[in-house]
Amino acid sequence: MKVINMSKSVKPVKLQEAKAEVLSLLKVLSDKVDLERKLGVNYLQLDPVIKDSLSSEENVITQPSTQESVCNNFDFYNEEKSVELNKSEKIEELGKLEEQVKKCIKCELCHARSNVVFGAGDPDAELMFVGEAPGYYEDQQGEPFVGKAGQLLTRIIESIGLKRSDVYIANILKCRPPDNRNPNANEIVLCSPHLIRQIEIIRPMIICALGTFAAQTLLDTTESIGNLRGRFFEYQSTKLLATYHPAYLLRNPGDKKKVWTDIKKVRDFLKENASLTRRSITNV
Ligand code: URA
Ligand code: URA
For 266, residues 6+ apart whose C-beta sits below 8 A from its C-beta are 127, 160, 206, 208, 241
Could you tell me if residue 283 is inside a domain?
Answer: no
Could you tell me if residue 62 is inside a domain?
Answer: no
CA atoms within 13 A on the CB side of 266: 32
Same domain? 114 vs 232: yes
Same domain? 157 vs 229: yes
More confidently predicted of 190 and 2: 190
Domain range for 271 is 87-275
Whether residue 130 has pLDDT greater than 50: yes
CA 224–ligand 2 middle distance (angstroms): 9
Could you tell me if residue 248 is inside a domain?
Answer: yes
229 lines ligand 2 (CB under 6 A): no
Ligand number with the minimum distance to the CA of 132: 1
Q: How far apart are CA 163 and CA 168, in angstroms?
A: 10
Same domain? 146 vs 32: no
pLDDT digits (tens, 9 = 90+) for 242-259: 999 999 999 999 999 999
**Atom number of ligand 2 nearest to Cα 132:** 3
Could you tell me if residue 3 is inside a domain?
Answer: no
In which band, very low, low, confident or very high, does the pLDDT at 281 lie, cut at 50, 70 and 90?
low
CATH code for the domain in which residue 179 is found: 3.40.470.10
Same domain? 169 vs 208: yes
CA 246–ligand 2 middle distance (angstroms): 9
Lowest mean pLDDT among 76-90, 170-184, 228-242: 76-90
* Closest to 217 measured CA to CA, from 185, 246, 244: 185
DSSP string, 234-277: EETTEEEEEE--HHHHHH-GGGHHHHHHHHHHHHHHHHHH--SS
* Closest to 88 measured CA to CA, from 230, 173, 201: 201
Same domain? 123 vs 33: no
Could you tell me if residue 77 is inside a domain?
Answer: no
Q: How far apart are CA 170 and CA 167, in angstroms?
A: 10
Largest Cα separation within the chain, whole Å, is 86
Could you tell me if residue 63 is inside a domain?
Answer: no
Domain boundary among 18, 36, 57: 57
Could you tell me if residue 78 is inside a domain?
Answer: no
Number of domains in the chain: 2
Same domain? 147 vs 98: yes
Could you tell me if residue 268 is inside a domain?
Answer: yes
Give all strands of the β-sheet with 127-131 in edge-to-edge order: 120-121, 168-171, 127-131, 206-210, 238-243, 232-235
CA 11–ligand 1 middle distance (angstroms): 47
The residue to mutate among 145, 156, 188, 212, having the most atoms of ligand 1 within 8 angstroms of its beta carbon, is 145
Same domain? 122 vs 180: yes
Same domain? 91 vs 51: no
Q: Please give the pLDDT value at position 21.
A: 72
Q: Is the dihedral of CA 222, 228, 234, 236 positive or negative?
A: positive
**Atom number of ligand 2 nearest to Cα 252:** 7
Domain boundary among 57, 73, 96: 57
In which band, very low, low, confident or very high, does the pLDDT at 283 lie, cut at 50, 70 and 90?
low
Ligand number with the minimum distance to the CA of 173: 1
Same domain? 46 vs 142: no
pLDDT digits (tens, 9 = 90+) for 139-190: 999 999 999 999 999 999 999 999 999 999 999 999 999 999 999 999 999 9
Q: Please give the pLDDT value at position 66.
A: 33
Same domain? 34 vs 119: no
Same domain? 158 vs 271: yes
Same domain? 131 vs 183: yes
Torsion of CA 32, 34, 36, 40, to 10 degrees: 180
In which band, very low, low, confident or very high, does the pLDDT at 39 lie, cut at 50, 70 and 90?
low
Q: Please give the pLDDT value at position 36.
A: 59
pTM over 0.75: no
Q: How far apart are CA 284 and CA 152, in angstroms?
A: 18
In which band, very low, low, confident or very high, does the pLDDT at 27 lie, cut at 50, 70 and 90?
low
Q: How far apart are CA 85 and CA 200, in angstroms?
A: 10
Whether residue 192 has pLDDT greater than 50: yes
